[in-house]
């Protein structure tokens, strides 16, 4: 069933500091050749000492609102997908609400690991489709660098920081836009293949919490390919469309080999698949809205195009959605502003 919801604004934020594979190779036993050939990643962005998921989310949200030409006071709900909030509470969404001056908005976080944006989009779309909210900001923002074990070469080379945001509004029956299908899936029996403990984990109670990502890379790789391919195929079928109708697939940016395997399984040519992970690494919940912002800013999307989103992450949690691109109100205002800073990273 088509949800009458369109994206009217989109924005992204990447912290200025970059960390290249060569720089990582000075810290752990790895190489640019190994990382690039196994993952497709060349570099990632690392949050500065004062940056958090909420400060980056504020930057992305401001761009999204500017590109939608919407005043922050007119936002009704803010939903933030993040697994790296500033703290246990309050929700990063409320910090973003204050930061952008969304004085009339309710705000909350959702945690579905790397699939966080798709889950937040699902929740936000229901508000707009039901008429209980007119404008919903959906944000994915992550500070993955703070939950990495920087001595574990199996995980620290994969992730990066950043934020992306979209504004959702009603799409009338005669207007472009609309979510054709959106499905979410989960399998908690595989929780141990990708997780990060935290201050409430019993084993860490009373101790200084050391939360970092633990991953069985090969198991996650296999589950990701199967989960993404099945969810994407189901979402296309549920939309009553075929792969030929998909103008651009914007998948979660974890590993280009995962993306290529999914595209092959769908018989979707890679020139209709958006990939920017070479410059971002895996930014978890931020990856799809960041990629969407870049696709929009670089002219990869035309009004009327069908987009396929597909996301996968810890949980395991995954899903896919098909929606029609309506174009944003002020395309010149969207995109991924980033000032490049050279020099040694301080976080790693």
Footprint on this chain of ligand COA (rule: CB under 6 A): 30, 34-35, 38-39, 114, 153-154, 157-158, 215, 217-218, 220-221, 224, 254-255, 282, 312-313
Instruction: Indicate the residue among 35 and 70 with the shorter CB distance to ligand COA.
Output: 35
Q: How far is the CB of 144 from ligand COA (least distance, A)?
A: 10
Q: How far is the CB of 168 from ligand COA (least distance, A)?
A: 24
Q: How far is CA 269 from the centre of its chain?
A: 22
Instruction: Indicate the residue among 110 and 301 with the shorter CB distance to ligand COA.
Output: 110
Which sequence positions are flagged as catalytic?
A: 114, 252, 282
Q: How far is the CB of 20 from ligand COA (least distance, A)?
A: 14
Angle at 277 between CA 182 and CA 158, to 5 degrees: 100
CB 79 within 8 A of CB 51: no
Instruction: Indicate the residue among 126 and 230 with the shorter CB distance to ligand COA.
Output: 230
Angle between helix 116-130 and 287-297 (nearest 10): 70
Cα gap 299→296, rounded to integer Å? 5
Instruction: Indicate the residue among 13 and 318 with the shorter CB distance to ligand COA.
Output: 318
Q: What is the 3-state secondary structure (H, E, C) of 266-308?
A: HCCCHHHECCCHHHHCECHHHHHHHHHHHHHHCCCCCCCCEEE
Instruction: Indicate the residue among 106 and 217 with the shorter CB distance to ligand COA.
Output: 217
Q: How far is the CB of 237 from ligand COA (least distance, A)?
A: 24
Q: How far is the CB of 252 from ligand COA (least distance, A)?
A: 6
Residue with tokens 């992730």: 159
Q: Is 74 exposed, middle or buried (0-12, 13-18, 19+ CB in 10 A)?
A: middle
282, two tokens: 């895996």
Q: Max CA-CA distance within the chain?
A: 58
């Amino acid at each position: 069933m088509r949800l009458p919801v369109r994206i009217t604004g989109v924005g992204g934020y990447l912290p200025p500091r970059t960390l290249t594979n060569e720089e990582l190779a000075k810290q752990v036993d790895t190489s640019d050749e190994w990382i690039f050939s196994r993952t497709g990643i060349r570099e990632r962005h690392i949050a500065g000492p004062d940056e958090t998921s909420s400060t980056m989310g504020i930057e992305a949200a401001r761009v999204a609102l500017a590109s939608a030409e919407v005043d922050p006071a007119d936002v009704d709900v803010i939903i933030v997908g993040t697994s790296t909030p500033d703290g246990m509470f309050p929700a990063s969404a409320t910090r973003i609400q204050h930061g952008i001056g969304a004085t009339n908005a309710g705000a909350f976080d959702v945690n579905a690991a790397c699939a966080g944006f798709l889950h937040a989009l699902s929740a936000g779309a229901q508000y707009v489709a039901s008429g209980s909210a007119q404008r919903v900001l959906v944000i994915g923002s992550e500070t993955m660098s703070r939950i990495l074990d920087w001595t574990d070469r199996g995980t620290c080379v994969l992730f990066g920081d950043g934020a992306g945001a979209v504004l959702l509004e009603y799409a009338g029956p005669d207007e472009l836009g609309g979510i054709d299908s959106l499905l979410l899936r989960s399998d908690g029996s595989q929780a141990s293949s990708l997780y990060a403990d935290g201050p409430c984990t019993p084993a860490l109670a009373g101790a200084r919490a050391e939360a970092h990502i633990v991953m069985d890379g090969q198991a996650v790789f296999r589950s990701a390919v199967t989960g993404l391919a099945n969810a994407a195929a189901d979402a296309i079928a549920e939309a009553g469309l075929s792969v030929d109708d998909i103008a651009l697939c914007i998948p979660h940016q974890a590993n280009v080999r995962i993306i290529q395997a999914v595209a092959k399984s769908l018989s979707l040519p890679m020139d209709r698949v958006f990939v920017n992970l070479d410059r971002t690494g895996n930014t978890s919940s931020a990856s799809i809205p960041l990629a969407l912002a870049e696709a929009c800013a670089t002219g990869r999307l035309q009004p009327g195009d069908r987009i396929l989103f597909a996301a996968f992450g810890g949980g395991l949690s995954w899903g896919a959605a098909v929606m029609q691109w309506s174009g944003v109100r002020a395309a010149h205002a969207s995109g991924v502003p980033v000032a490049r800073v050279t020099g040694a990273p301080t976080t790693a």
